[in-house]
């Protein structure tokens, strides 16, 4: 199996970007990654483009074909990868195996979403809710925030957890986002303000939920053998895992267990021959604060029921035992759906190269992600380390 | 469909109760099932009051969604016809009825729960 290296990354500003359409975001991030990887004059074998709602929100199909044409990568193979908000993770997985198999040497992954131009109330909530189970959940008006609200209530009740422990995750992620120039929000929030923000899906409040964002992120991957020709500090992808769980959330034995994450992170750890103790930095999928708490448990960092407490006690801050979401996470960096899984790995690359500026985790050598493609029913985990 | 009974599947081989959408058993891959009707009585496992409805429910400012468990162990999700004095573990009764209309005007049916 050929080893896979990331030799360049790109990341647009996330937020409300009025003068950029979907294709602009995809191409801007791609060209940054190509420039960053010193592959300006190189041919690429394949391009994987991740975007969740191109058709619904942007009336565009065949976006992978459009990207290679616009950025001059014809005749590279080009695919549009869709796996809900884990489209980015899935695109990276496809690129990874295209290189490990020996089929490709030079591959571009780019993810983006353009969302903030939609003004119809409820339309984005509704478009995202199409990923829930149609007959069991969606007909009843179940949306992602409502599933997260119910999960928060169950977790608080089962483990006797006060709400402020969970909401402290949003405060921590906003603090980290302050030092990320690409983040949607570069603004600190207080726990008091977060706990008093409007209720969206009781007990979940506005500040427990990630924003709707525009943005793109990209990376250039190549076989590790040739990586040093282009870059002094290639970052290796050494573990990739993906697993599914019941589409109907209540058909799981225990709502508070993300079995798919336990399985896919174990796959990633074992492929890389690492354990949770080896991880220096993690980028989690905090679309809702409760998810980061539970993910930190099922990734193996904390015991069940102790993730929210650990966050409240500062163990997941930069400088803590396992920093989670130094980028600001989905909460502060923003959540352009198709870009998120790519942006998570881009942040880890910056951290492992020592290029993360004021949010740098000293000496970080190994990182892992958790990228959600549904409500816990399709999850990817990607493990990276310094070469 | 009757107003009050809700029909589920029980795997003939491993006896796992499950949603009728499954074509093969979610636990053992078997394809033969018995039909199970849930009784109306159930208890509340968790709930949320949603203040940001998706566009199908644009006519409502807020509504309550809950997950319940019937005495035979079946679980279900539906809308609770109340947002006050809800408590995990409380007894509810369930019904199958029209909930709303989708954006094309088609009637949408589903499960509702009411405190007993
Ligand atoms: Zn079975």
Q: Provide the token pair at A229.
A: 């020709």
Which candidate, A90, A168, A110, places its Cα nearest to that of A329?
A: A168
State both tokens at A311. Answer: 């966050």
DSSP one-letter code for A101 = T
Question: How many A from CA of A194 to the centre of ligand 1?
Answer: 45
Contacts of B70 in chain A (CB under 8 A): none
Q: Which residues surround ligand 1, an ion (CB under 5 A)?
A: B 11, 13-14, 16, 25, 27-28, 30
pLDDT tens digits for range B67-77: 999 988 899 99
The H or E element containing residue A36 is: helix A22-36
Nearest CA in chain B to A134: B21
Q: What pLDDT sits at residue A122?
A: 82
Measured CB to CB, residues of chain A less than 8 Å from chain B are: 120-123, 125-126, 129, 133, 135-137, 139-143, 145-146, 149-151, 153-154, 157, 198-204, 246, 248-251, 255
Supply the range of the domain harboring residue B57. Answer: 7-115
Structural domain includes residue B93: yes
What is the pTM for the complete model shown?
A: 0.97
The 10s digit of each residue's pLDDT in A40-58 is 999 999 999 999 999 999 9
Q: How far, in Å, is the centroid of ligand 1 from the Cα of A67?
A: 46
* Domain presence at residue B99: yes
ipTM: 0.94
Q: Has residue B19 been placed in a domain?
A: yes
Residue B100 is assigned to a structural domain of this protein: yes
CB-CB neighbors (< 8 A) of B108 in chain A: 139
> Nearest-CA neighbor of A342 among A34, A48, A31?
A48
Residue A9 CA to residue A105 CA, distance in Å, equals: 17
Q: Where are the beta strands (DSSP E) in chain A?
A: 4-11, 46-50, 77-81, 106-113, 199-201, 204-205, 215-223, 235-244, 281-283, 366-369, 371-372, 378-386
Strands of B12-106 (E only): list them: 17-18, 33-38, 41-50, 63-70, 75-80, 91-101
* Total tally of structural domains belonging to chain B: 1
B87 has pLDDT over 90: yes
pLDDT at B1: 45
B1 domain residue, yes or no: no
Smallest Cα distance from B57 to chain A, Å:
7
In a domain, B22, yes or no: yes
Does residue B3 surpass a pLDDT of 60? no
Residue B2 belongs to some domain of the structure = no
B3 min Cα distance to partner chain A (Å): 16
Residues of B with CB under 8 A from a CB of A: 18-19, 21, 26, 45-58, 63, 65-67, 75-79, 88, 99-100, 108-111
B17 CA to middle of ligand 1, Å? 8
The Cα-based distances of B30 to A27, A135, A170, A248, B76 in angstroms read 48, 21, 44, 19, 22
A163-215 pLDDT, tens per residue? Answer: 999 999 999 999 999 999 999 999 999 999 999 999 999 999 999 999 999 99
Q: What are the structural domains of chain A?
A: 4-118+212-227 (3.40.47.10)
Q: List chain A residues with pLDDT less than 70.
A: none
């Amino acid at each position: 199996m050929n080893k896979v290296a990331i030799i360049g990354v790109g990341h647009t500003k996330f937020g409300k970007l009025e003068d950029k359409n979907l294709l602009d975001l995809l191409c801007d991030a791609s060209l940054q990654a190509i420039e960053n990887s010193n592959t300006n004059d190189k041919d690429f074998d394949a391009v994987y483009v991740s975007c969740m709602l191109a058709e619904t929100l942007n009336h565009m199909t065949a976006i992978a074909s459009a990207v290679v044409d616009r950025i001059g990568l014809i005749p590279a193979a080009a695919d549009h990868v869709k796996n809900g908000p884990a489209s980015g993770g899935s695109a990276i997985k496809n690129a990874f195996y295209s290189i490990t198999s020996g089929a490709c040497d030079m591959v571009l992954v780019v993810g983006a979403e353009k969302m903030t131009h939609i003004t119809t109330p409820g339309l984005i909530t509704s478009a995202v809710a199409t990923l829930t189970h149609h007959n069991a959940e969606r007909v009843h008006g179940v949306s992602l925030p409502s599933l997260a609200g119910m999960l928060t209530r169950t977790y608080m009740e089962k483990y006797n957890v006060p709400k402020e422990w969970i909401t402290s995750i949003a405060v921590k992620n906003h603090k980290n986002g302050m030092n990320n120039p690409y983040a949607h929000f570069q603004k600190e929030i207080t726990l008091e303000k977060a706990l008093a923000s409007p209720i969206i899906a009781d007990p979940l409040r506005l500040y427990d939920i990630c924003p709707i964002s525009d943005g793109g992120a990209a990376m250039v991957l190549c076989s590790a053998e040739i990586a040093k020709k282009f870059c002094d500090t290639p970052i290796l992808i050494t573990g990739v895992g993906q697993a599914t769980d019941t589409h109907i959330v209540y058909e799981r034995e225990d709502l508070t267990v993300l079995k798919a994450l336990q399985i896919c992170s174990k796959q990633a750890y074992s492929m890389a021959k690492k354990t949770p103790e080896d991880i220096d930095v993690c980028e989690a999928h905090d679309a809702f604060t409760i998810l980061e708490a539970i993910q930190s448990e099922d990734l193996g960092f904390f015991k069940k029921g102790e993730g929210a407490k650990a966050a409240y006690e500062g163990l997941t801050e930069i400088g803590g035992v396992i920093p989670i979401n130094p980028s600001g996470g989905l909460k502060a960096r923003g959540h352009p759906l198709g870009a998120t899984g790519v942006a998570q790995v881009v942040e880890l690359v910056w951290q492992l190269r020592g290029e993360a500026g004021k949010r740098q985790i000293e000496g970080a050598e190994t990182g892992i992600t958790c990228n959600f493609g549904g409500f816990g029913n399709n999850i990817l985990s990607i493990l990276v380390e310094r070469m | 469909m009757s107003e009050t009974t809700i029909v589920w599947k029980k795997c003939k081989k491993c006896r796992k109760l499950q949603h009728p959408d499954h074509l093969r058993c979610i636990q053992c891959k078997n394809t033969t099932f018995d039909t199970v009707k849930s009784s109306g009585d159930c208890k509340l496992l968790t709930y949320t009051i949603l203040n940001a409805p998706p566009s199908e429910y644009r006519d409502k400012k807020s509504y309550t969604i809950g997950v319940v468990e019937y005495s035979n162990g079946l679980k279900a999700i539906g809308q609770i016809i109340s947002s006050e004095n809800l408590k995990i573990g409380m007894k509810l009764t369930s019904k199958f009825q029209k909930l709303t209309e989708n954006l094309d005007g088609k009637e949408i049916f589903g499960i509702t729960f009411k405190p007993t």
